[in-house]
Amino acid sequence: TRAVQEFDKVVDSVCPFCGVGCQTSVAVKDNRIVQVDGRNGPANENRLCVKGRFGFDYVHSPDRLTKPLIRRDDAPKAGDIDLRDVDPLTVFREASWEEALERASSGIKTILDRDGGAALAGFGSAKGSNEEAYLFQKLIREGFGTNNVDHCTRLCHASSVSALLEGVGSGAVSAPFTDAMKADCIIVIGARPATNHPVAATYFKQAVKQGKQLIIMDPRRQNLMRHATHALQFKPGSDVAMLNALLNVIVTEKLYDEQYIQANVSGFEALKEKVKDFTPEAMAEVCGVDAETLRTVARVYATSERSIIFWGMGVSQHTHGTDNSRCLIALALTTGHVGREGTGLHPLRGQNNVQGASDAGLIPMFFPDYKSVENVDIRSNYEDLWGRSLDPVKGLTVVEIVDAIHDDVIKGMYIMGENPAMSDPDQLHARAALAKLEHLVVQDIFLTETAWHADVVFPASAHAEKLGTYTNTNRQVQIGRPALDLPGEARQDWELIVDLAKGIGLDWAYRDISEVYDEMAAVMPSLRNIPWERIEREESVTYPADAPDKPGNEVIFREGFPTADGRGKIVPADLLPPDEVPDEQYPMVLTTGRLLEHWHTGAMTRRSGVLDEIEPQGIAVMNPYEIERQGLAAGQMVSVETRRGVVEAVLRADREVADGMIFMPFCFNESPANRLTNPQLDPYGKIPEFKYCAARIESMEQA
Ligand code: SF4
């Protein structure tokens, strides 16, 4: 914290939004943020995007929760109420902390004593700190007695992580995105960094200016394509066809690195066999990219000295998302483009701490650091540490938990900082599940669409009000510092988790957040040599670090892989269709995603004056030719319908969207795109198919 004349203070922190993890200086006057600037952090070198620089005012929104709330006895469960028309105090009454905590914990205990831990579940948050994530999963495992704990990683990169764990033994990136500057060839597939990771995109543009090859692959055009040396607008859902065609060229033209494969890779022979029929000529029609371009791109990637691959939700949010990532891993392993500077595999992580929350064990199949809950030795270590016997089977994932509520298996939930009423697929089904819960405790800074369903609401702390560590997409563990006092009676998230733990009988006695970090770091090999004091002192430390006084390893897999045999494993993928393809009734493809100005479900950015002014209303986007072909007009109200529901939105024309496609952002409650999306899951990562379902669009205006 520095004192600066015109401000009361300037606090060094990190951005609360995306996984880039830009370091910030937060200027405060009269307990209000008045300015945010970029600092010289390793991921941003003084840069910030529009969200980080101007999106901070949500913390001062009049919508902030400042008192605990308890649902009125006569209030109907929220279901699908239109939140804009309801006064919260007709549904909830204000309560003391004592009463709210008692109500919350007794509801959990009643279910626990009657039905056991399998009837409970928790959603933590990728927006919270590592310490909060660790405490949250510990509460669910130790206190609730179940592994039914998950968070939004299930909705973003779960399939990437399952493929990476299988292929290279680690779910994190192998090199930071700044290594694009050291690469000769950069592939960006199924990601829109200029929208979703804007500061990372600046490095990609800079790399092109230095003469690097930039290959963008995306079913929607994007503005980064203007900087690309090769732009492949492939057909949605055809990732495996396109990527196997590249692998076919690499195999048939012998562009692979034989020495690297012999020393480090298994599964190459099976891959050769699998991709034999995926010739560029055969796949051109399937993926919509001509054979010559496929050959050229394969050659550029394979023969460059250093090539690196970045990917996003366009790859992962499919029922074949794991297969898509397997193909990317196969590209890197066959060519030896991993384990050196300027090479590697980098799934661009979405939320500010989705990497850290996953590392800290906020997932149903793993303790911290991806240690299986089904491994007897690992589980018994945690049983010794926590002094309780623990659930021996892996828990349910986000969408499975929703289904288990409908099946009367799960009856109570604790949700911290997550908004499944907006983020889950088939939203009416998800909201009906929340409404059906016997007992729901929600902890948040706003009365989100999810909190409306709660029995007890805890007013919590915003990012700018708390101390904690956050791990960005580059594996850099960074410190966020409090700049503001908490509003009203709102309390720190970690203290609330501890109070709930005490309320259900756990003997937890943490005095401050650094003690939580110390306990977490003691069980996580990835944080060895990174004590709390080091992060405080250095601001950002990359894990893993070999010694307390040595910088962390930005590039991993230099000498093999952390797999059972030390080798990277290629798992060949087959071409599978999306779960639901267009037909006569629903002839279009609906795809969903984010906007530059709005972050995820919009809980924060829609309460930011500047950002909501720029993008104030729900939209459905099609290209102008498609709009004309369908007899519609940009600017008019349309209804978009799928087998799950119907949503109204303003029609926008944008040449980036391919023929036959509709794009909708999922951040607008008044036009909730996830009312339409398909909940079918990838069998490995259990991620829903947000990027593809059959839809139709109609005018809402009289002819
Ligand atoms: Fe924040 Fe991401 Fe923008 Fe950086 S790029 S300022 S981390 S939203």
Interacting residues of 598 by C-beta distance below 8 A, sequence separation 6+: 605, 606, 611, 612, 615, 665, 667, 668
Read off the pLDDT of each residue in 160-172 and give the average, rounded to a whole number: 93
Give residue 87's pLDDT band: very low, low, confident or very high (50, 70, 90): confident
**Cβ-contact 443, 498 below 8 angstroms:** no
Minimum-distance ligand 1 atom for the alpha carbon of 44: 4
| pLDDT tens digit sequence for 261-279 | 999 999 999 999 999 999 9
From the CB of 20, is ligand 1 less than 6 Å away? yes
From the CB of 51, is ligand 1 less than 6 Å away? yes
Q: Mind spelling out the 3-state secondary structure of 334-398?
A: HHCCCCCCCCEEEECCCECCHHHHHHCCCECCEEHHHEECCCHHHHHHHHHHHCCCCCCCCCCCH
- Residue ranges in 116-197 assigned as alpha helix (H): 130-138, 158-168, 193-196
**Cβ-contact 127, 415 below 8 angstroms:** no
- Backbone φ, ψ for residue 32 (5° rounding): -130, 140
From the CB of 199, is ligand 1 less than 6 Å away? yes
Give residue 79's pLDDT band: very low, low, confident or very high (50, 70, 90): low
Pocket test for ligand 1, best of 35, 51, 597 (most atoms within 8 A of CB): 51
List C-alpha distances in Å: 138 to 148, 239, 363, 522, 550: 11, 38, 11, 14, 31
- Provide the pLDDT for residue 5: 64
pTM: 0.95
User: Does residue 3 surpass a pLDDT of 70?
Assistant: no
16 CA from centroid of ligand 1 (Å): 8
Question: Among all chains, which residue has been given the structure tokens 């939700």?
Answer: 313
List C-alpha distances in Å: 681 to 269, 356, 492, 550, 618: 29, 24, 35, 42, 26
Pairing of strands 371-372, 366-367: antiparallel
The whole-angstrom separation of Cα 283 and Cα 72 is 59
From the CB of 38, is ligand 1 less than 6 Å away? no
**Cβ-contact 433, 459 below 8 angstroms:** no
Interacting residues of 106 by C-beta distance below 8 A, sequence separation 6+: 503
Give the closest residue (by CA) to ligand 1 atom 3: 49
Pocket test for ligand 1, best of 13, 14, 20 (most atoms within 8 A of CB): 20
**Residue closest to 640 by CA, chosen among 618, 624, 658:** 618
Give the count of beta carbons closer than 10 Å to the beta carbon of residue 629.
Answer: 12
- Provide the pLDDT for residue 4: 57
75 CA from centroid of ligand 1 (Å): 40
222 CA from centroid of ligand 1 (Å): 19
- Provide the pLDDT for residue 601: 86
Beta strands in 63-192 (DSSP E): 69-71, 92-94, 120-123, 149-150, 185-189
User: Does residue 176 surpass a pLDDT of 80?
Assistant: yes
**Residue closest to 519 by CA, chosen among 133, 41, 97:** 133
Read off the pLDDT of each residue in 189-209 and give the average, rounded to a whole number: 96
Interacting residues of 350 by C-beta distance below 8 A, sequence separation 6+: 18, 19, 126, 152, 156, 157, 196, 312, 313, 600
**Cβ-contact 13, 483 below 8 angstroms:** yes
| pLDDT tens digit sequence for 329-377 | 999 999 999 999 999 999 999 899 999 999 999 999 999 999 999 999 9
Chain-centre distance for alpha carbon 520: 22
Tokens of 117: 């831990």
| pLDDT tens digit sequence for 370-407 | 999 999 999 999 999 999 999 999 999 999 999 999 99
DSSP lists the bridge partners of residue 71 as 92
| pLDDT tens digit sequence for 593-603 | 989 888 888 88
Minimum-distance ligand 1 atom for the alpha carbon of 43: 4
More confident residue, 703 or 561: 561
The whole-angstrom separation of Cα 466 and Cα 480 is 7
- Provide the pLDDT for residue 77: 74
Read off the pLDDT of each residue in 47-74 and give the average, rounded to a whole number: 95
| pLDDT tens digit sequence for 243-252 | 999 999 999 9
| pLDDT tens digit sequence for 97-130 | 999 999 999 999 999 999 999 999 999 999 999 9
From the CB of 15, is ligand 1 less than 6 Å away? yes
178 CA from centroid of ligand 1 (Å): 14
The whole-angstrom separation of Cα 402 and Cα 556 is 37
Give the closest residue (by CA) to ligand 1 atom 2: 18
Minimum-distance ligand 1 atom for the alpha carbon of 599: 8
Minimum-distance ligand 1 atom for the alpha carbon of 49: 3
DSSP letter, residue 143: I
Q: Is the ipTM of this complex over 0.85?
A: yes
The whole-angstrom separation of Cα 245 and Cα 234 is 12
193 CA from centroid of ligand 1 (Å): 11
Give residue 2's pLDDT band: very low, low, confident or very high (50, 70, 90): low
User: Does residue 544 surpass a pLDDT of 60?
Assistant: yes
680 CA from centroid of ligand 1 (Å): 31
**Cβ-contact 353, 471 below 8 angstroms:** yes
**Cα angle: 163, vertex 239, 282; to 5 degrees:** 125
670 CA from centroid of ligand 1 (Å): 26
From the CB of 22, is ligand 1 less than 6 Å away? yes
**Residue closest to 125 by CA, chosen among 493, 519, 599, 609:** 493
Task: Measure CA of the first residue to CA of the last residue in the chain; give whole Å.
Answer: 61
